[in-house]
Chain A
Amino acid sequence: MLKYIVKRLLLAIVTIWAVATITFFLMNLVPGGPFLSEKAISPQATAALEAKYGLDKPLLQRYMTYMSDALQGDFGDSLKQRGRTVMDIIAMKFPVSARLGGISVLVALIMGIPMGCIAALKRGKFLDSFISVVATCGIAVPSFVVCTLLMYFFGVKLRWFPTVGLTSWKHYIMPVMALSFYPTAYIMRLMRSSMLDVLGQDYMRTAKAKGLSGFVSLFKHALRNAILPVITYVGPMLAYTVTGSFVVEKIFTIPGLGGEFIKAINGRDYTLIMGTTIFLATLIIVMNVLVDIVYKLVDPRIKLK
């Protein structure tokens, strides 16, 4: 177990390093710089600013400096939002995205798992067909389509929910619906097929032969086995909700980390791009490791190597 965690951590560090390196060189390929767009600044002032942030040095040297700073936990100041460190900005924006993402993940699990189970238990009946059709359509609709449709009907036409910002609980409803739409549909499908698979297993017959009621065999014997694929999906789902929020944040004008990232790229805010990328990558990788460990706890057959 310990050996496994150490191994995973090593792999995680390599991955984060790879992401950071790729990002660093990629963003420097983008023409323009953080200070070019600001017309008011004279060339001398630009040069002075570039010197201040070390942008006048060769690329490789900058890379080395950045990496050694980052290793010590210093991600630098934002180039565009003067006077704020990258860490400040992340600390301010991330909770917004995290809350939205967390609620959406919960909604997806709470909706998806029971619906998938019901569909499997009512196999071939109307309810099953209905849930399957909804789920199949659900995974075919891109998030921006969901967002815009929600916005048009509930925000613009019916005026039930506010369309901008994230200040009251009412503001959360549409973004959460949009963000949890795809994962819910996906989990429903996953849960249905895995439940059907489990229900056909020999140990379910054993449970019945023991004289257990349908309720007990379902909750004790079937659910724990059927939920395994869903746990595996939680990792990618977290990545999806974190990054899927790019679109949602753009449409509903939510001040989150996704929007900040797009803004940083557009403004060539090198340090912020790097900081956000490393932060999100680390987050997703850590989540994936956690999911693996949870998986091991639920399924004793898995040996973490």
Chain B
Amino acid sequence: MAEYLVEIKNERLSFFTPAGEVKALNDVSIHLKEGEVLGIVGESGSGKSVTAYSLMGLTAYPGKLIGGTLEFNGHHIEKMSEKEMRAIRGNEISIIFQDPMTSLNPVYTIGNQIEEVILLHTDKNKKQARARARELLELVGINEPDKRLKQYPHELSGGMRQRVMIAIALACEPKLLIADEPTTALDVTIQAQILELMMELKDKLGMAIIMITHDLGVVASMCEKIAVMYAGKIVEYGTTDDIFYRPRHQYTKGLIRSIPRLDTTEHEKLVPIEGTPVDMLNPPAGCPFAPRCEECMKICLSQMPPVTEFEGCHYTQCWLIQKEEYEAEGQKG
């Protein structure tokens, strides 16, 4: 048994568009133990969804894995054929998508769509599959499951549909659940309910979760570890405490500054991060965050900073850390 359930090492993935190669992932490494919850945080286009999708072999055309290894539960994802991948998808790894309104097929009943995945991956017959579907709906907290099974997606509310998506994802008791911004498209009150449900189910079923979000509030309450992504790179990685109390990268600091807080006594202003993300078609030579960074230095613009590791699993990539060390060395020397 390997140490980790998921181990992604130096993954590089590019989209080959007519306009040129877009380096969506550049040297991304992630590892996750069984039953752990990892949050991947970043703004749109930072590569967080691409990372998760590549783990399921769902990379959309014209994306292509060009380097690195992806290990899941003893499988080498990057070497597996489409047919082998199909046996894993929906079975050992499941995913919940962002928009429950469009993620269910409008012309089939809820029951049909849940049973489909059960029939595909287990030996259950139709009747057993229906019973299991009913059980799943109860599990995700949907009332009147018998009635719901016969209903069509458009007859259900958004929160209800996301519960159905979770039921589909959990149908075969996966080892890993990927949640791709599962609450972004929902009302705030529903968001909390769905997150609570997910944590509850995690404790009950003991699966690992990769939580993809741009909402730091979500990861703070749910995740044990957090990876902060920017422009296809993990700029900082650590436990939730590391990220929230000892952030080392300027981007992480910026993200934290931009969340509203209730515990401040003074009228602090929220500080947004100025500027826009880099154009991934023409990535800069240096740190991708440099043009938006308040502490930007000359070297930041020309060279990519090296990885600096701290205690535990905490690491970051920032020249400011190098500067501190350099100055400390200088004083010593």
A residues adjacent to B (C-beta < 8 A): 201-203, 205-213, 220-221, 224-225, 298-301
Pick the residue among B56, B103, B154 that contacts A203 (CB under 8 A): B103
Q: Does B104 contact A (CB under 8 A)?
A: yes
Given known contacts A202-B99, A301-B152, A301-B154, A209 and B106 CB-to-CB distance under 8 angstroms: no
**What is the CA–CA distance of A224 and B168 in the complex, to the nearest angstrom?**
21
**What is the CA–CA distance of A214 and B116 in the complex, to the nearest angstrom?**
14
Q: Which 9 A-B pairs have the closest CB atoms?
A: A211-B89, A211-B90, A210-B90, A202-B102, A203-B105, A300-B152, A202-B103, A210-B117, A211-B86
Q: Does B88 contact A (CB under 8 A)?
A: yes
Q: Which residues of A contact B107 (CB under 8 A)?
A: 224-225, 298-301
Q: Which residues of B contact A210 (CB under 8 A)?
A: 89-90, 116-117, 120, 168
Q: Does B91 contact A (CB under 8 A)?
A: yes
Q: Does B205 contact A (CB under 8 A)?
A: no
Q: Does B15 contact A (CB under 8 A)?
A: no
Q: Which chain B residue has the least Cβ–Cβ distance from A225?
A: B107
Instruction: Please report the total number of B residues contacting A with Cβ < 8 Å.
Output: 28
Within 8 A of A (CB), among B61-113: 85-91, 94-95, 97, 99, 102-108
- What are 16 A-B contacts with C-beta separation under 8 Å? A202-B99, A202-B103, A203-B103, A206-B103, A207-B105, A208-B89, A209-B97, A210-B89, A210-B168, A212-B86, A221-B108, A299-B106, A300-B106, A300-B152, A300-B154, A301-B154
Complex contact B120–A209 (CB within 8 A): no
**What is the CA–CA distance of A299 and B106 in the complex, to the nearest angstrom?**
8
Q: Which residues of A contact B58 (CB under 8 A)?
A: 205, 208-209
Known pairs A300-B107, A301-B152 / 20 extra A-B pairs, C-beta < 8 Å: A202-B103, A203-B102, A203-B106, A205-B58, A206-B105, A206-B168, A209-B89, A209-B97, A210-B89, A210-B116, A210-B168, A211-B86, A211-B88, A211-B91, A211-B117, A211-B121, A212-B86, A213-B86, A300-B152, A301-B107
Q: Which residues of B contact A206 (CB under 8 A)?
A: 97, 103-105, 165, 168
Within 8 A of A (CB), among B13-68: 56, 58
A216 to chain B, nearest CB (A): 8
B82 to chain A, nearest CB (A): 8
B residues adjacent to A (C-beta < 8 A): 56, 58, 85-91, 94-95, 97, 99, 102-108, 116-117, 120-121, 152, 154, 165, 168
**What is the CA–CA distance of A98 and B108 in the complex, to the nearest angstrom?**
35
Q: Which residues of A contact B99 (CB under 8 A)?
A: 202
A241 to chain B, nearest CB (A): 28
Q: Which residues of B contact A208 (CB under 8 A)?
A: 58, 89
**What is the CA–CA distance of A305 and B89 in the complex, to the nearest angstrom?**
41
Q: Which residues of B contact A299 (CB under 8 A)?
A: 106-107
Q: Which residues of B contact A213 (CB under 8 A)?
A: 86
B43 to chain A, nearest CB (A): 21
Complex contact A209–B95 (CB within 8 A): yes
Q: Which residues of A contact B152 (CB under 8 A)?
A: 300-301
B41 to chain A, nearest CB (A): 22
Q: Which residues of B contact A209 (CB under 8 A)?
A: 56, 58, 89-90, 94-95, 97
**What is the CA–CA distance of A208 and B106 in the complex, to the nearest angstrom?**
16
Complex contact A205–B106 (CB within 8 A): no
Q: Which residues of B contact A205 (CB under 8 A)?
A: 58, 97, 103
Q: Which chain A residue has the least Cβ–Cβ distance from B171?
A: A210
B251 to chain A, nearest CB (A): 29
**What is the CA–CA distance of A213 and B107 in the complex, to the nearest angstrom?**
19
Q: Which residues of A contact B85 (CB under 8 A)?
A: 211
B268 to chain A, nearest CB (A): 39
**What is the CA–CA distance of A299 and B154 in the complex, to the nearest angstrom?**
11
Q: Which residues of A contact B104 (CB under 8 A)?
A: 203, 206
Q: Which residues of B contact A301 (CB under 8 A)?
A: 106-107, 152, 154
Pick the residue among B87, B103, B154, B165 that contacts A211 (CB under 8 A): B87
**What is the CA–CA distance of A211 and B93 in the complex, to the nearest angstrom?**
10
**What is the CA–CA distance of A170 and B88 in the complex, to the nearest angstrom?**
54
A260 to chain B, nearest CB (A): 42
Complex contact B120–A211 (CB within 8 A): yes
Question: Which of B58, B88, B106, B152 has most A Cβ within 10 Å?
Answer: B106
Q: Which residues of B contact A298 (CB under 8 A)?
A: 107
Complex contact B97–A202 (CB within 8 A): yes
**What is the CA–CA distance of A205 and B178 in the complex, to the nearest angstrom?**
14
B154 to chain A, nearest CB (A): 5
Question: Which of A202, A210, A213, A299 has most B Cβ within 10 Å?
Answer: A210
**What is the CA–CA distance of A203 and B116 in the complex, to the nearest angstrom?**
13
Given known contacts A205-B97, A210-B120, A301-B152, A225 and B89 CB-to-CB distance under 8 angstroms: no
Q: Which chain A residue has the least Cβ–Cβ distance from B60?
A: A205
Q: Which residues of A contact B86 (CB under 8 A)?
A: 211-213
Q: Which residues of A contact B103 (CB under 8 A)?
A: 202-203, 205-206
B267 to chain A, nearest CB (A): 42
Q: Which residues of A contact B165 (CB under 8 A)?
A: 206
Q: Which chain A residue has the least Cβ–Cβ distance from B102?
A: A202
Complex contact B168–A225 (CB within 8 A): no
**What is the CA–CA distance of A1 and B152 in the complex, to the nearest angstrom?**
17
A195 to chain B, nearest CB (A): 15
Q: Which residues of B contact A207 (CB under 8 A)?
A: 105
Q: Which residues of A contact B116 (CB under 8 A)?
A: 210, 212, 220
Q: Which residues of B contact A202 (CB under 8 A)?
A: 97, 99, 102-103
Q: Which residues of B contact A220 (CB under 8 A)?
A: 108, 116
**What is the CA–CA distance of A221 and B89 in the complex, to the nearest angstrom?**
17
Q: Which residues of B contact A203 (CB under 8 A)?
A: 102-106
Q: Which residues of A contact B154 (CB under 8 A)?
A: 300-301
Q: Which residues of A contact B108 (CB under 8 A)?
A: 220-221
**What is the CA–CA distance of A301 and B107 in the complex, to the nearest angstrom?**
8
